Amino acid sequence: MTILSGDPLTQLSFSVYGNKGVYALLVGSGLSRSASIPTGWEITIDLVRRVATAQGVPEQTDWAAWYRTQFRREPNYSELVEQLGMSPDERRSILHAYIEPDEADQEEGRKLPTKAHQAIARLVKDGYIKVIITTNFDRLVENALREAGVEPTVVASVDALLGAEPLVHSSAYLLKLHGDYKDARILNTEAELTGYPAQYDALLDRIVDEYGLIVCGWSGEWDHALRAALLRAPSRRYPMFWAVRGTIGTGATELIHQRRAQTIEISDADAFFEGMEQRVQTLARTHRQHPLGIELLVNTVKRYLGKPEFQIPLDDLMASEFRTMLERIDAEGLTPDGTWSVEEFKSRVALYESFSEPLVRVAAIIGRWGGQTEHRVILEIVKTLSAQADRELGGLVAWLNIRSYPAVLIAASYGLGLVRGRRWKDLYEFLGAEFQRPNESSPQRIVDFLFLAAWAGSDNDYWRNLEGLDGRKTAFSDHLHELLGIWSAPMSGTLPDFDLLFETWEILGGLVHLGQTDENLLIEALSQPAPHNWMWFPAGRSVWHTSTRERIFKEIQEKKTKAELLQAGFAKGSEEFLDKLITNYARMASRMRW
């Protein structure tokens, strides 16, 4: 079993995304079914009904069964249209009423582009699909494309083919094999569908050879010339995917077997194309910079750090990465408008993480090996990101709250690097750095609004929606722990215990947060009877991870480390105050155990 087992639609979406413009669509009447344009079989049965009713036959519950009983064979569209319309113009007229929307259709939204047509149009507009082959006479595909701002090259006759823009130069090429319902040259009898003009065959041979194929809404039973084109193509350089609704017919089965196509069971064309388009767009939005590119960035920063001659190139590199990050966030248009949904939350988290990853990983490196110059750069980045997030003051609270997630990630990663490098003074100054924010009467410290539970976006009701975090008391902290454990690997090096590093950062951040409290207020709180004998501070997984927390407390209280922390500014430089802060931390933790 693999990660994509049982999910061929996602497999197809990855292939479409990763091979932009390589796949062509082959769509039939099933594509237009939800537009209330009947399929060929439905037109056939309706023609049987209309002819029989005109001959005085009473209304039947099953006209197909009636036809079989009367004529001892299956109803045949080709036979019926040949009998009813002797000329091409007459045959075109028969179909016109089934396809052209009248006033009632317009009012009720029938015979107009469907969700499937619109999803296809978006895929074409974004360059993922360039070639569409259809057996349909209607104009729903080209109408949807034009509504999306795409002007297609439409080939519905040999004359149009000869004068059309070359396939290779077209961004949207629509081949209507059977013609257009307003053109008398449509092909709709079995005899007419036996063979195509040589020019069509040559074009089909090229498409089938050079493109992958996605088939939807075509039965594969009739259209003998199209079947022949698929069967004679020798190349299988790109895959074929066949969307199947219900039972697969014998004609389709033969083609699927011969072309080694992968079948995808679908409920309808709308769900299929919308599902594929949404997956492709999600892949585009969440596609992270190539790992090799990020590794190159990280290694370049490592080479530049600590070398005065590389100070300017390092500054330029950081500025360039930061501009790229801001451009990607702005381009995505993550406004605070809209309604809450779990999927939208997951999508926004993934996007913010994708855009932030390069700088987050660099921040960890700078935290461990950088100096004061780089310290100011990181501080300015966090300040700018926070200010960007604060510009939006109206909208859905959840989307407003997580706008500053990139600033949180960079601040956390940099803090981890500072802890790894035992840069206690820089850590204290960084967490205590003040920003003036909108609607705040006085400046706020980083630790007061971008640290763990002090951050407005850290609500468990949000983060428990992520996989594996359901029911967690510290869901946001747990997610950070998992994410930064991977991204901070180049900084943490051979450190055997990332839990220790991460929770040291948590605990020291908690001490900084409470460190500006009036010592007398803390003493008063500690003197209260349990369970109210402690003061709140932002904390994470360290409150329940007792064994690691005790190890950290023990190290903090060792003479050398305690002296370094006090000299850096922790607990206002007071050993007695530091002991009280640790006591308070332990008491709060005792109230939040699993």
pLDDT tens readout for residues 233-251: 776 678 999 999 888 888 8
Amino acid 208 reads V
How far apart are alpha carbons 297 and 315 in whole angstroms?
A: 13
Backbone dihedral region for residue 179 (phi beyond 0: left; psi -120 to 50: alpha; all else: beta): left
pLDDT tens, position by position, 297-309: 888 898 898 888 8
Ranking 28-37, 238-247, 370-379 by mean pLDDT, the lowest is 28-37
Predicted confidence band at 5 (pLDDT cuts at 50, 70, 90)? very low
Residues in contact with 117: Cβ distance below 8 Å, sequence separation at least 6, in sequence order: 31, 32, 35, 140, 141, 143, 144
Q: Dihedral angle at the C-alpha atoms of 418, 421, 425, 426, nearest 10 degrees? A: -40
Q: Is the predicted pLDDT of residue 593 greater than 60, yes or no?
A: no
Higher pLDDT pick, 285 / 481: 481
Residues 36, 105: contact at Cβ < 8 Å?
yes
Give Rg (Cα) of the chain: 33
Higher pLDDT pick, 124 / 279: 124
Residues 328, 382: contact at Cβ < 8 Å?
no
| Cα diameter, the chain | 106
Instruction: Report the pLDDT value the prediction gives residue 352, as an integer from 0 to 100.
Output: 93
Instruction: Report the pLDDT value the prediction gives residue 549, as an integer from 0 to 100.
Output: 93
Q: Is the predicted pLDDT of residue 149 greater than 80, yes or no?
A: yes
Instruction: Report the pLDDT value the prediction gives residue 85, as an integer from 0 to 100.
Output: 60
Instruction: Report the pLDDT value the prediction gives residue 409, as an integer from 0 to 100.
Output: 97
Q: What percent of the chain is modeled with pLDDT above 70? A: 91
Instruction: Report the pLDDT value the prediction gives residue 50, as an integer from 0 to 100.
Output: 85
How far apart are alpha carbons 418 and 430 in whole angstroms?
A: 10
Instruction: Report the pLDDT value the prediction gives residue 219, as an integer from 0 to 100.
Output: 86
Residues 202, 11: contact at Cβ < 8 Å?
no
Instruction: Report the pLDDT value the prediction gives residue 393, as an integer from 0 to 100.
Output: 81
**Of the spans 247-251, 429-433, 459-463, which averages the highest pLDDT?**
429-433
Q: Is the predicted pLDDT of residue 511 greater than 90, yes or no?
A: yes
Q: In what order do the strands lie in the sheet with 240-244?
A: 153-155, 173-176, 129-134, 23-27, 212-216, 240-244, 262-265
Report the pLDDT averaged over residues 464-473: 88
Q: What percent of the chain is modeled with pLDDT above 90? A: 47
Q: What is the pTM (predicted TM-score) of this model?
A: 0.60
Strands 153-155 vs 23-27: parallel, antiparallel or unpaired: unpaired
Instruction: Report the pLDDT value the prediction gives residue 296, as an integer from 0 to 100.
Output: 82
Ranking 58-67, 274-283, 493-502, 537-546 by mean pLDDT, the lowest is 493-502
Predicted confidence band at 292 (pLDDT cuts at 50, 70, 90)? low
Pick from 479, 352, 462, 339: nearest CA to 395:
339
**How many residues can be counted in the chain?**
594
- Please provide the average confidence, as pLDDT, over all residues in the chain: 87
Report the pLDDT averaged over residues 155-174: 88
Instruction: Report the pLDDT value the prediction gives residue 470, as an integer from 0 to 100.
Output: 87
Question: Bridge-partner residues for 262, per DSSP?
Answer: 241
The shares of helix, strand and coil residues in the chain, as percent rounded to the nearest 5, are: 60, 5, 35
- 284: number of Cβ within 10 Å: 13
Predicted confidence band at 387 (pLDDT cuts at 50, 70, 90)? very high
Instruction: Report the pLDDT value the prediction gives residue 24, as an integer from 0 to 100.
Output: 96
Predicted confidence band at 40 (pLDDT cuts at 50, 70, 90)? low
Question: For residue 123, what are its two tokens?
Answer: 């895929």
Cα distances (Å, whole numbers) of residue 212 to 215, 217, 329, 489: 10, 17, 33, 40
Amino acid 314 reads L
pLDDT tens, position by position, 301-349: 988 988 888 888 889 889 988 998 888 888 777 888 888 988 889 989 9
Instruction: Report the pLDDT value the prediction gives residue 412, as an integer from 0 to 100.
Output: 97
Q: Is the predicted pLDDT of residue 1 greater than 60, yes or no?
A: no
Phi, psi of 113 (to 5 degrees): -55, 135
Ranking 167-171, 217-221, 284-288, 298-302 by mean pLDDT, the lowest is 284-288
